[in-house]
Amino acid sequence: MKRLLTRLLLMLTLAPVASSQAMDWLRETPMLQQRVDAGELPAIQERIPQDVRVVNLLGDQVPGEQGGQMRLLMGKQKDIRQLVIYGYARLVGYTPDLELKADILKSYEVVDNRVFTLHLRKGHKWSDGHPFTSEDFRYYWEDIATNPELSKGGPSRHLVIDGQMPNVEYPDAYTVRYSWPSPNPYFLTALAGPAPLYIYKPAHYLRQFHARYQSAEVLDEMMKKYAKRNWMSVHFNRDRPYKATNPDLPTLQPWMNTTYPPSDRFIFERNPYYHRIDQNGRQLPYIDSVAINIASSKLVPAKTGADESDLQGRYLRMDNYTFLKTGAKRSNYDVRLWKAAKGAHLALFPNLNTSDPVYRELLHDVRFRRALSLAIHRYEINQVVYFKLVQESNNTVLTESPLYKPEYKNDGIEFDLEHANRLLDELGLTRRDDRGVRLMVDGRPLEILVQTAGESTEQTDVLELIHDSWMQAGIKLYTIPSTREVFRNRIFSGDAIMSIWSGLENGIPTADYSPMDLAPTSKYQYQWPKWGSYYESSGKSGEAPELPAVRELVALNDQWTHAGTHQERVDIWHRMLDINREQMFTIGIVNHVPHPVVVNNYLQNVPVTGFYDIIPGAYFGIYKPDTFWFEAARR
Amino acid sequence: MLKYILRRIVTMIPTLLVISMLVFVIIQLPPGDYLESHIAELQSQGESVDEQKIQFLREEYGLDKPVVQQYLYWVAGMLQGDFGYSFEYDLPVTEVVGDRLFLTIIISIATILFTWMIAFPIGIYSATHQYSWGDYGLSMLGFLGLATPNFLLALIMLYLANVYFGTSIGGLMDPEYIGAPWSFDKLLSILEHLWIPVVVIGTSGTAGMIRRLRANLLDELQKQYVTTGRAKGLPPGRLLFKYPLRVALNFFVADVGNLLPAVISGAEIVAVVMSLPTTGPILLSSLQSQDMYLAGSFLMFLALLTVVGVLVSDIALALLDPRIRLGGAASK
């Protein structure tokens, strides 16, 4: 309460300062001072927007000073997009409390979830100094998204609701309005995504590659230069803000790539026109540059242990924890344990679309799925594989989500062989062979082949333990390792009876986050790939769901899309979570798995704990890496 | 002789054509294509996939075309010096590989020199001192090098070098020199890192060379002319180097055919383990992600070098050793 009060007071005192033209409290960035003095770069007053975003660092987060270079390790050249994720400058973005807040935008208004009015910051500039205005939104909508040559399939699916395109208006240079005839609940979440929907593009830069603005001769030359077959490919290749492979492409992110690929080391430098400053008038990011070194992903833990990274979470796993801790004694870093935000770290996915009719009938029966869950000794798995550091849980929302209810997590996860055996007997699986394995109606033994993508021994270890306890329920489990592509194809085709993979991507959703992962909406949902494919293709491929409960989930998901109020969405979420609890379409095993994060001791403002996952937190993104800073020894 | 060379060059064409077909078919054998493995990778990391973008890329990369057409497109391009496009790097293949070729050649040549420097004296010593303690001891050392798994040795040496010398783990130079212009410090940094891969890769090759040199030399040492030379009072060193050693070197020249591609590809496994900026890891990852033009063009390049290398070694052998005949047809 006291903290809230001080925060309010501070905001009150700072707000008028920020909005007034008295900008003398701003301090020039030391790294840029020379270029400003030489006249190559305007002074800070002209670089930042007039409606600058002031970030107040309070509590555990303290304002710092600018300078220094942060080292990161990545496994592939493609991974440099991680810095676009970490940077997390979005039109609207999530706060650590998972509320949506205007970021690049000054503000936005929403009417009925249909009409979105976006207000830009006056004087906001791209990283090359060109003004960022509604023209950049117009360019995206008219010259890219609805250009029949550049976007053959039309705009992104988040922008087309019930087959309807939005009406996009640009009342003035700082206002953009998107309006749909029916609600679009995906719009803001898509803008805030780790891989965001870019509805703005640097028009002044990209025009030179566009057939509408550029002569055919020049385009011909460009096609030759970039080894492309047509101008669309050149445009596409130059315009990949998420990939960060084109250093010439202006950006709004805190750091911009300055290295042309291919390389094993990429330097991202501070964006001199970035739109956030701290309460002391220092422009963010604090850290001048980020060096990404590419090393084989298997070497990343060893290199991290040798103090070659300042902030590392990627490619570290729980099994590296003891090694990293040992290394911390001779190197200058701290190992912190963050948590994964997935609904289940590991879950079994019974393939309800399996092509074997006997197994399909069994898997369609909720009593069978429940018996499988009851016959898993999750406590033992927690002890043996995870050193009792994780939570035994269904594949559902985490305790931190506002939608959490204890029964979602706990229903049916107790180890109860007696109950499991009773359920299986009820199903008529009473005959057994000489191994004690139950026989199915056609006389075949009840053997369940669980597909794994063969990526870690952790999955096979867990399956080995499940094998032992299932055996006591008369079910024989076989682990079938393969490669990721084969694994997926077996599931899609219906060859697989069951698979093991991670659960819900976002375990800490709010009611405004789409519940589509709980209903068959995508073929990548391993419990019902064909039903998902049916929904995704509007009935062109896949199969229509036959189970009533699944049909209800599809209907609820559609209802959510059209829901007018927050309360309605909350109710729909709970209904869907409850159906999933009751029906146990996926069998969650554990969640809240710790993830080691290595932080250099000189690096300040990195939270001691947090959620380490791409959705919804963009890994470090929502914790604002632009406010991390180095102590003087490393500047 | 000229006729022989011509004939060999002409037969290289169908050989390479068959290799190109094999390479292409084998790369295409695993299910799916580059985009599918790309989607699988993104999904496994929880990133969203824009189906429309994927469709755009599929057309752009020509993956929607029949395999035969893709193959013809690739071969026709190579004939014009266009090795295709790497999907993974979003760059032409030549740019991706070209960058790494130089360092690969440095490592390979250093390794080969290292192998020779170790293997030659040992091979000669163990042949001239057959069944002595030195012969057994040194041969065992060579075999130890052969038997130790390279990747294990690499990991141990990386760790020790880091703990005791503070060398950064993996790579071929300290990170701050990557992409920096050449300087004395950069060279020092490379030398500081270079010795580990050279020793690791080198030790595995020495045993083979020691044994081959020893066997060849032993064959020669028994022969009449050696005895004659010794009887005429030639000093042992001069006798050894002037006559039997030269004859025993045939195998060495025959090896050139394998040497050429090895110089370019580097030792893949060690390079992957040690994260060396050489071509090996690129080849491996392109095969894994089905980045077919990158993998295909690179394999073709290696095949070409092998074929040329074999030709060069055959010609060199023919020049060196009059006993070798130029095949049935040419000698008639």
Residue B89 contacts A where some CB pair is shorter than 8 Å = yes
Of A18-27, A122-131, B299-308, the least confident: A18-27
pLDDT at residue A8 tops 50: no
Mean pLDDT estimate for chain A: 90
Q: How much is the average pLDDT of A594-610?
A: 94
pLDDT at residue A217 tops 50: yes
> Do the domain assignments include residue B299?
yes
pTM summary value:
0.87
> Do the domain assignments include residue B149?
yes
Tell me which residues of chain B have a pLDDT lower than 70. 266, 326-332
Partnered with residue A337 across adjacent β-strands are A596
Q: Residue-wise over A212-227: b if at least 16 C-beta within 10 A, else e?
A: eebeeeebeebbeeeb
Q: How much is the average pLDDT of A554-569?
A: 90
Q: Which amino acid is at A363?
A: L
Of B82, B117, B150, which marks where a domain is finished? B82
Residues B101 and B63 in one domain: no
* Token couple for B205: 């090759």
Q: What is the pLDDT of residue B259?
A: 76
Q: What is the pLDDT of residue B326?
A: 65
Say which of A232, A298, A488 has its CB closest to residue B40: A488
Q: What is the pLDDT of residue B274?
A: 85
* Token couple for A433: 């062979």
CATH 3.10.105.10 in chain A, residue ranges:
346-591
How far does A38 lie from chain B, in Å, by closest CA?
25
User: What confidence category does residue A263 fall into, taking pLDDT thresholds of 50, 70 and 90?
Assistant: confident
Q: Do A261 and B89 touch (CB under 8 A)?
A: yes
B residues 131-150 lying closer than 8 A (beta carbon) to A: none
> Do the domain assignments include residue B24?
no
Q: What is the pLDDT of residue A536?
A: 84
CATH 3.90.76.10 in chain A, residue ranges:
68-266
> Do the domain assignments include residue B320?
yes
> Do the domain assignments include residue B13?
no
Q: What is the pLDDT of residue B328?
A: 52
Residues B49 and B171 in one domain: no
User: What confidence category does residue A192 fall into, taking pLDDT thresholds of 50, 70 and 90?
Assistant: very high
A566 by DSSP, 3-state: which? helix
> Do the domain assignments include residue B7?
no
Q: ipTM of the assembly?
A: 0.84
For chain B, the distance separating the N- and C-terminal CA atoms, rounded to the nearest angstrom, is 12
Q: What is the pLDDT of residue B318?
A: 81
CA-based nearest residue in chain B for residue A153:
B52
Q: What is the pLDDT of residue A395?
A: 95
Distance from the Cα of residue A517 to its chain's centroid: 13
Residues B216 and B76 in one domain: no
- Find where tokens 């969405």 sit: A569
Say which of A240, A259, A485 has its CB closest to residue B32: A485
Specify the fold of A346-591: Dipeptide-binding Protein; domain 3 (3.10.105)
pLDDT at residue A244 tops 60: yes
For chain A, the distance separating the N- and C-terminal CA atoms, rounded to the nearest angstrom, is 36
CATH number of domain containing B161: 1.10.3720.10
Q: How large a percentage of chain A has pLDDT more than 70?
A: 96
Determine the Cα–Cα distance for residues B77 and A611; give it in Å rounded to an integer.
49
pLDDT at residue A21 tops 70: no
Higher pLDDT, A457 or A42: A42
pLDDT at residue A7 tops 60: no
What are the chain A neighbours of B95 within 8 Å (beta carbons)? 262
Strongest mean pLDDT among A166-175, A607-616, B314-323: A166-175
Q: What is the pLDDT of residue B170?
A: 83
Span A359-390, pLDDT tens digits: 999 999 999 999 999 999 999 999 998 889 99
What are the chain B neighbours of A488 within 8 Å (beta carbons)? 40
User: What confidence category does residue A135 fall into, taking pLDDT thresholds of 50, 70 and 90?
Assistant: very high
Question: Could you list the residue range(s) of the whole structural domain that residue B49 is in?
Answer: 31-82
Residues B246 and B299 in one domain: yes
Right CATH for A68-266 from 3.30.565.10, 3.40.50.1100, 3.90.76.10, 3.40.50.1370 = 3.90.76.10
A254 contacts A284 by C-beta, under 8 angstroms = yes
Task: Print the SS3 string covering chain B.
Answer: CHHHHHHHHHHHHHHHHHHHHHHHHHHHCCCCCHHHHHHHHHHHCCCCCCHHHHHHHHHHCCCCCCHHHHHHHHHHHHHCCCCCEECCCCEEHHHHHHHHHHHHHHHHHHHHHHHHHHHHHHHHHHHHCCCCHHHHHHHHHHHHHHHCCHHHHHHHHHHHHHHHHCCCCCCCCCHHHCCCCCCHHHHHHHHHHHHHHHHHHHHHHHHHHHHHHHHHHHHHHCCHHHHHHHHCCCCHHHHHHHCHHHHHCHHHHHCHHHHHHHHHHCCHHHHHHCCCCCHHHHHHHHHHCCCHHHHHHHHHHHHHHHHHHHHHHHHHHHHHCCCCCCHHHHHC
Q: How many domains does chain B have?
A: 2
> Do the domain assignments include residue B12?
no
> Do the domain assignments include residue B9?
no
Q: What is the pLDDT of residue B266?
A: 63
Q: How many CB atoms lie within 10 A of CB B156?
A: 12
What are the chain B neighbours of A302 within 8 Å (beta carbons)? 158-159, 169-170
Q: Do A484 and B37 touch (CB under 8 A)?
A: yes
Residues B64 and B145 in one domain: no
What are the chain A neighbours of B165 within 8 Å (beta carbons)? none
Residues B115 and B253 in one domain: yes
Residues B297 and B321 in one domain: yes
Q: What is the pLDDT of residue A59?
A: 81
Q: Do A157 and B51 touch (CB under 8 A)?
A: yes
Determine the Cα–Cα distance for residues B98 and A261; give it in Å rounded to an integer.
12
* Token couple for A509: 């959703």
